[in-house]
């Protein structure tokens, strides 16, 4: 199948997105050196890089929220055959100073049952991890739904989680229906369907609302969740390639063209995100002003973007994130 393209335009050159810092009880007050941010009030646990309320920071789209851009300019951003009116992916950095609640997300079918646009399948890429860092992915083998309920009521569910050690560079897939939790010790890049629906099943005694019935309905005893081994190609490493997203780590010795970046695409629209996991770069091309790509920043590459190049300005660790077709059709 030929790749679907829409006519390129300098008006839809790549643009950097300003992050949104989200307060969480389990987060940090000082995000340095990862982000130059210190919390004014409650701790910050999530940095949303592509949330609907995020704002374009550069180019012709500067000052506009992503939900407005995707709603008004679907074809330019997603491609002519794409459905939906918002960004198909929500990309975050998770910084947990304390344990996140034990939670589960619905799949698409259950989300539609309750009038939600989509479910939430996600993955975590470890940008950094301390020795002994762990995440909880799934439940212990052989446990039943009734035993899960009893463990919630007796405040012992933590003992029934499947714990995985995590190190920098690990990729963990968390498909919808997987009971999971993030524990302290790692900095995670989270890529997920653009949905923030979460059913909190257990919270270690913290006085926050639980969603036990919803969680029990959403959870699946057997899922595909777990660590994903990378696939090394000649010019990049595919960290994960599943139903809703593909994530690649692309080395940039000095510079790389947009054509070289998109070589693995075959039938997807041209929308992509470029994330600087470390180091710095620039994105430049004819007809638009060069864009800085500092550490932990993200650039949106619309389907209608003209040709461009990414240049390594020092130790750039470039992550390319692309939505898959199913993510556009919901």
Task: Write out the E strands in 71-121.
Answer: 89-95, 102-104
C-alpha distance across the termini of the chain, in Å: 22
In sequence order, what are the beta bridge partners of 248?
238, 320
Annotated active-site residue in 118, 200, 236, 268: 200
Indicate whether 268 pLDDT > 60. no
Q: What is the pLDDT of residues 306-317, one digit of tens each?
A: 999 999 999 999
Predicted pLDDT at 145: 96
Q: What is the pLDDT of residues 183-230, one digit of tens each?
A: 999 999 999 999 989 999 999 999 999 999 999 999 999 999 999 999
**pLDDT confidence band for 86 (50 / 70 / 90):** confident
Predicted pLDDT at 2: 35
CB 291 within 8 A of CB 284: yes
Predicted pLDDT at 6: 54
CB 93 within 8 A of CB 187: yes
Average pLDDT of the chain, as a whole number: 93
**pLDDT confidence band for 1 (50 / 70 / 90):** very low
Q: State the Cα–Cα distance between residues 178 and 173, nearest whole angstrom.
A: 10
**pLDDT confidence band for 79 (50 / 70 / 90):** confident
| Integer CA distances (angstroms), 279 to 17, 28, 44, 95, 187, in order | 17, 23, 23, 19, 16
| Integer CA distances (angstroms), 47 to 66, 96, 115, 315, in order | 15, 11, 27, 22
- Residue 36's contacts (CB-CB under 8 Å, 6 or more residues apart) are none
Q: What is the pLDDT of residues 234-252, one digit of tens each?
A: 999 999 999 999 999 999 9
Helix, strand, coil percentages, rounded to 5, for the chain: 15, 40, 45
Q: What is the pLDDT of residues 26-66, one digit of tens each?
A: 999 999 999 999 999 999 999 999 999 999 999 999 999 99
Q: State the Cα–Cα distance between residues 314 and 330, nearest whole angstrom.
A: 39
Q: State the Cα–Cα distance between residues 295 and 136, nearest whole angstrom.
A: 28
Strands of 122-129's sheet in order across: 20-28, 44-48, 89-95, 186-193, 122-129, 171-174, 226-227
DSSP states along 189-252: EEEEES----EEEE-TT-S----HHHHHHH--SS---EE---EE-SS-EEEEE-SSEEEEEE--
Indicate whether 83 pLDDT > 70. no
Q: State the Cα–Cα distance between residues 275 and 211, nearest whole angstrom.
A: 33
Q: What is the pLDDT of residues 110-142, one digit of tens each?
A: 999 999 989 999 999 999 999 999 999 999 999
Residue 326, helix vs strand vs coil? helix
Indicate whether 3 pLDDT > 60. no
Return the closest-CA partner of residue 104 out of 205, 187, 213.
Answer: 213
Predicted pLDDT at 81: 66
200 is catalytic: yes
Q: State the Cα–Cα distance between residues 242 and 231, nearest whole angstrom.
A: 13
What token pair was written down for 39?
């919390």
Burial 284-302 (b: 16+ CB within 10 A, else e): bbeebeebebebbbbbbbb
Residues of the chain above pLDDT 90, percent: 87
Higher pLDDT: 270 or 108? It is 108
DSSP 261: H
Domains of the chain: 20-53+89-227 (2.60.120.10), 231-328 (2.60.120.10)
Instruction: Give the helix ranges, DSSP H, for the chain.
Output: 66-72, 74-78, 108-113, 145-153, 212-218, 258-261, 325-328
**Token pair 């629906």 in the structure block, residue:** 197
Indicate whether 269 pLDDT > 80. no
Predicted pLDDT at 10: 81
């Amino acid at each position: 199948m030929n790749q679907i393209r829409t006519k390129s335009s300098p008006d839809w050159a790549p643009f950097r997105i300003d992050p949104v810092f989200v307060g969480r009880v389990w987060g940090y007050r000082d995000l340095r050196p990862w982000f130059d941010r210190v919390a004014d009030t409650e701790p910050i646990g999530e940095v949303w890089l592509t949330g609907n309320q995020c704002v374009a920071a550069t180019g012709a789209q500067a000052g506009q929220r992503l939900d407005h851009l995707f709603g008004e300019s679907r074809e330019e951003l997603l491609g002519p055959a794409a459905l939906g009116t918002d960004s198909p992916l929500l990309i975050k950095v998770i910084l947990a100073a304390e344990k996140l609640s034990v939670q589960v997300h619905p799949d698409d079918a259950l989300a539609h049952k309750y009038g939600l646009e989509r479910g939430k399948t996600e993955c975590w890429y470890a940008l950094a991890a301390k020795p002994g860092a762990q995440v909880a992915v799934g439940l212990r083998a052989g446990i039943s739904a009734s035993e899960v309920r009893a463990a919630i009521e007796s405040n012992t569910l933590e003992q029934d989680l499947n714990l995985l050690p995590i190190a920098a560079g690990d990729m963990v897939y968390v498909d919808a229906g997987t009971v999971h939790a993030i524990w302290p010790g790692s900095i995670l890049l989270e890529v997920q369907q653009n949905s923030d629906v979460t059913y909190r099943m257990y919270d270690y005694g913290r006085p926050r609302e639980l969603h036990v019935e919803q969680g029990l309905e959403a959870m699946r005893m057997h899922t595909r969740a777990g660590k994903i081994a990378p696939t090394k190609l000649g010019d990049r490493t595919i960290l994960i390639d599943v139903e809703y997203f593909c994530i690649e780590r692309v080395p940039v010795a000095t510079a790389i063209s947009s054509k070289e970046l998109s070589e693995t695409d075959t039938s997807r629209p041209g929308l992509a995100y470029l994330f600087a996991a470390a180091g710095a770069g620039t994105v430049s091309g004819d007809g638009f002003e060069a864009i800085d790509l500092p550490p932990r920043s993200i650039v949106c590459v619309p389907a209608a973007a003209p040709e461009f190049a990414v240049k390594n300005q020092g130790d750039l660790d470039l992550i390319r994130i692309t939505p898959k077709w199913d993510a556009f059709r919901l």
